[in-house]
Structure 1
């Protein structure tokens, strides 16, 4: 038992029965358990109890042991002047100050089911996929779990996007470009691609987007790949980059995207060429994406996006590959872009103006295929059905914010598992 768990049980009224008696044997009726206080002072405020035919209104303090009153140095603290009850798990010592003020002490040990304590202790064990793994029941997932988790995740992402908007003079096009660049980089190059995008003035990208060769030259040049051209096409990109560098006074920062731990189709050369193609083909990309109502409309925007012809038989500069063919963006990759860039931007842009945006965004997630990774595999091991990205994204968010942090007492699933006394 710890104090946090005791407060949790009190707040959610998780007891075997409510036929309370204080340590002197007097009947004690809790008319209002009070408001959980997360600041200094008593644990529960604005409470109401009835004892000895008197109704008392005030605050309640909880401790694991009565003696904690002394150890926590509450004696003489004016914040505890309006105390009406001292509730403890174990009453181990009389507190004269409380006795003198006729403040009753309630020992809760016999009112708490021991199986519940076992459940909580099992949640704190190490070397499990999630704290409640040994007692997990997929049927105990709250009814609105998926939607609530997704919207919390979008709200968190929205804060980041709004901060980025401040840094970009409220230019949604620029912020979209930076977030798409991040998503195009995948896990290995995401931070590098975003830094590259942030180092560029988006007006430069906007001015040259009609020329795909110049866009590629810009991206490849700031990646520091064109210093020593090895074939004719690289010489063209080098010439174009030198021209752009002179005309727009580009940042002198150079970046070095990584190739290691990536399959060839995900090499940064291919992804940056596809990013150039996306902006070349869509002169009003932000407006197009924001106006979409159905996921098929977004797939249509990306339908013709592919790496330039140079890459048909290459994955890296000047190295011919036996694999030949046009390198289009796949549906799975578009789904990643939707999840990591497009939907958060779409949500942020509309959240204060469109009352239906939540339902619209959730519908997008429902129509995206579920992701595959080790965390989702862990949920599947626990018999959680995973049918779409709404569910996988909710599970990923929940695992990061609750399971990894062992934040079980603030977890909707943890609440469902603990509140049932069997």
Structure 2
């Protein structure tokens, strides 16, 4: 038995209302179960109940056992002074307010049907990958689509948190924030945090000033990530080292200790050197990238915007001072898709939100143009009959797995609630 099951039973009134009594034998009727509040303080706010013809308006606190009140030290918390009813599964001790008046208690186990209990136990008793893996396909498609939309925007809200933090760190410079987010995206999962810290270690004013020469940006990005060999033999690498030393001295850039970048398990086209060279070319070509990004809402236009290659040196190199077979190295459409999913859509959402503008429909149209991500989570959902047709589907399913299934929040999930109802 878990408290979230009791929250579900109370919120959706899955118990017998006809002849309720408190543990002290007082008659109890419920006019309003209150508003579910999933933060600190009582579980349900502004409930309306009647005990022995006396009407009460206030808050409801729910526990497995009455004694949990003292276990959680609610008697010391003023937020619980306005609790008018303590709802528990099992009553094991009286509960008193600070003024020593007893809080009425409803022992819920006497009023929940066997069927509701069995449905709950059936849902949560077996877990291989997710609890409902054998039932999730039964959920009505309209309900599931609505739930996926909410999951998608929950995920965007979560992605807005680091954007807000970056805004505070950059004095609300959206161009600087975009540069940080793109840097992290260009580093992929392996080098993303290192690339982000590199971007944060350089004032964006320096990027603006040095962007007129792509070699200067390459020197800056590769130098800050310690990717320029000190004992290089080729002239280009020597020039990069010289440029980096000059730029660092010119702008008084402090030495920053970053985690070493990783080449291991990367295909050559994803080497961090290549990604940083492409990032340098992007900011060499586009001096006002944020304004471009905010004004575009079609995937084909993003493909054009991010049609970036590298400077000529990298045609014959994957690493500095190490020549290779000649090959163009431009951003692929699949990589641009990841940029749009993980950087562009979140920053468009956060920017519109900062202006008080509604952007939901535009963002949904864009994300549905993009192919779904391919990873083990999406593949697993596919096995259960949930096909990800586009990136909207895959992003929603990732949110479902990470924020609900992994945390066993079945009774805060519309899938779990619908399966219990059925």
- Report the TM-score range of the alignment, normalised by the length of the smaller protein: 0.7 to 0.9
Q: Is the 8 A contact 1:146 1:391 kept in 2?
A: yes
How far apart are 1:329 and its partner, in Å?
A: 0.2
Q: Is the 8 A contact 2:67 2:95 kept in 1?
A: no
1:252 aligns to what SS in structure 2?
coil
How far apart are 1:46 and its partner, in Å?
A: 3.2
Partner residue in 2 for 1:7: 7
Partner residue in 1 for 2:235: 232
How far apart are 1:259 and its partner, in Å?
A: 0.6
Of 385, 399, 410, which aligns to 2:401? 399
How far apart are 1:123 and its partner, in Å?
A: 5.0
How far apart are 1:276 and its partner, in Å?
A: 0.8
Q: Is the 8 A contact 2:221 2:276 kept in 1?
A: yes
Q: Is the 8 A contact 2:216 2:244 kept in 1?
A: yes
Of 240, 249, 254, which aligns to 2:252? 249
Q: Is the 8 A contact 2:69 2:95 kept in 1?
A: no
How far apart are 1:206 and its partner, in Å?
A: 1.1
Of 337, 343, 346, which aligns to 2:339? 337
Whether 2:266 is the aligned partner of 1:262: answer yes
Whether 2:348 is the aligned partner of 1:346: answer yes
The number of residues matched between the two structures is 411
Partner residue in 1 for 2:225: 223
1:133 aligns to what SS in structure 2?
coil
User: C-alpha distance in 2, partners of 1:150/1:387?
Assistant: 14
Give unmatched runs, 5+ long, in structure 1: none
2:371 aligns to what SS in structure 1?
coil
How far apart are 1:313 and its partner, in Å?
A: 3.3
Q: Is the 8 A contact 2:41 2:80 kept in 1?
A: no
Whether 2:387 is the aligned partner of 1:385: answer yes
Q: Is the 8 A contact 2:26 2:51 kept in 1?
A: no
User: C-alpha distance in 2, partners of 1:354/1:168?
Assistant: 21
Task: Sort the Cα spacing of 1:373 and 1:41 in 2 relative to 1 into closer, same or farther, 3 A.
Answer: closer
1:283 aligns to what SS in structure 2?
coil
2:360 aligns to what SS in structure 1?
helix
Partner residue in 2 for 1:306: 309
Task: Sort the Cα spacing of 1:169 and 1:116 in 2 relative to 1 into closer, same or farther, 3 A.
Answer: same
Superposition TM-score, scaled by structure 1 size: 0.83
User: C-alpha distance in 2, partners of 1:213/1:226?
Assistant: 16
Partner residue in 2 for 1:32: 32
User: C-alpha distance in 1, partners of 2:329/2:43?
Assistant: 64
How far apart are 1:190 and its partner, in Å?
A: 0.1
User: C-alpha distance in 2, partners of 1:69/1:258?
Assistant: 50
Whether 2:136 is the aligned partner of 1:136: answer yes
How far apart are 1:202 and its partner, in Å?
A: 1.4
Q: Is the 8 A contact 1:62 1:88 kept in 2?
A: yes
Of 268, 289, 292, which aligns to 1:288? 292
Partner residue in 1 for 2:414: 412
User: C-alpha distance in 2, partners of 1:182/1:78?
Assistant: 44
Q: Is the 8 A contact 1:122 1:134 kept in 2?
A: no
User: C-alpha distance in 1, partners of 2:340/2:121?
Assistant: 40
User: C-alpha distance in 1, partners of 2:34/2:177?
Assistant: 45
Task: Sort the Cα spacing of 1:172 and 1:21 in 2 relative to 1 into closer, same or farther, 3 A.
Answer: closer
User: C-alpha distance in 2, partners of 1:254/1:139?
Assistant: 50
Name which of structure 1's ranges 114-123 and 64-73 shifts more when overlaid on structure 2.
64-73
Superposition TM-score, scaled by structure 2 size: 0.83
Of 268, 279, 283, which aligns to 1:279? 283
- Give matches, 1:88-99, under 5 Å: 89=89
Q: Is the 8 A contact 1:209 1:280 kept in 2?
A: yes
How far apart are 1:121 and its partner, in Å?
A: 3.7
Task: Sort the Cα spacing of 1:349 and 1:92 in 2 relative to 1 into closer, same or farther, 3 A.
Answer: closer
- Give matches, 1:146-185, under 5 Å: 146-185=148-187
Give unmatched runs, 5+ long, in structure 2: none
User: C-alpha distance in 2, partners of 1:180/1:74?
Assistant: 46
User: C-alpha distance in 1, partners of 2:195/2:241?
Assistant: 20
User: C-alpha distance in 1, partners of 2:416/2:79?
Assistant: 32
Larger radius of gyration: 1
User: C-alpha distance in 1, partners of 2:352/2:208?
Assistant: 24
Task: Sort the Cα spacing of 1:238 and 1:138 in 2 relative to 1 into closer, same or farther, 3 A.
Answer: farther
Name which of structure 1's ranges 191-200 and 37-46 shifts more when overlaid on structure 2.
37-46
